[in-house]
Every structure is written in C-alpha cells, then in structure tokens.
Amino acid sequence: MTYIRKPYNSKSRTLKASALRGALFAAVALLAAGQAPAQAAPRHAGQGDWLYLTVTRGDSRSSDTRGTLLLCDPPQGHAHAAEACAELGAAGGDIDAIPAKGVFCPMIYAPVTAHARGEWKGHQVDYTRTFSNACGMAARTGSVFALDS
C-alpha cells in the first residue's frame, strides 16, 4: 500500500481554524441568546392566571437559572402545574400564604433564589425570595417552584 503525503499548507490550516473559531463563537452567542429569556418575564397575551417562574441555584453570581411559564386556566407549564395552581388558588395567589410543610430539612447551605412574576386574578405578582437550600424552598412554596420533574 502506498501513501501519498500532501504538502503542508499553513494557509489552508489557518483558514480552517479561523472558520472553526467563528462557528464556535456563533454557537456560543446563540446559546447565550437562548438564556436571556430566563431573566425577563414574558408578556402573556391571554387572559387568566399566569406566572413566569425561575429558580437560580447558587449565590448571586450564579448563572444556573431554570424557568418556565405556569398557566392556570387550564393548568400547564411545568411538571406539577395542577398542584401548583391548586396551591396558589387556595392561597389567593400569594406565594407567602401557601402553608408551610412540616418537614425536616438538612442544615446545608446551598442557596436557591425563587422568583415569580406575572398576574393572578388581575393583580400583578412579583415575588423573590432566597432560601438556604432547595428543601427549605419546597417546604415554603409547595409545588410552585418544583420546576424539575
């Protein structure tokens, strides 16, 4: 078997590397653009009760934010939409009024910040609270911020 060695072409390699860097930069820019809506509450054109919910794990410098739109007429938006809408309905849309669950949470500091913005029965909702860990958040807010299935 005979191998034919092509001559080294530094110009071709430089162009390929530049194209690869450009494509990588474009992909990162698209991903970053996809993350931006998690920070802003979208406008919901329909009627009814709705909240844009986000949960940020870590301290204030963290970028680990997950979010979803919770619609309650009919319940949809995240894995526990029906339960979350029922709990909010019983509390009159006031997240602080959701009864705390009697659970024991570990005393491990792993902060999570819950944020809700939207409308409930015609009133604006803007809720932000930082909890010492996810267990404490779940105990105080029920299914509302249970975004993970």
pLDDT in tens, 103-122: 999 999 999 999 999 999 99
d(CA 90, CA 83): 11
pLDDT in tens, 20-33: 444 434 443 444 44
Neighbours of 68 (CB within 10 A): 18
pLDDT band at 98 (very low <50, low <70, confident <90, very high): very high
Neighbours of 76 (CB within 10 A): 13
pLDDT band at 84 (very low <50, low <70, confident <90, very high): very high
Q: Does the pLDDT value for residue 130 go beyond 90?
A: yes
The whole-number pLDDT of residue 47 equals: 63
The whole-number pLDDT of residue 117 equals: 97
pLDDT in tens, 36-70: 444 444 444 456 789 999 999 987 777 789 999 99
| Burial status of residue 9 (CB atoms within 10 A of its CB: 0-12, 13-18, 19 or more) | exposed
The whole-number pLDDT of residue 146 equals: 93
The whole-number pLDDT of residue 148 equals: 77
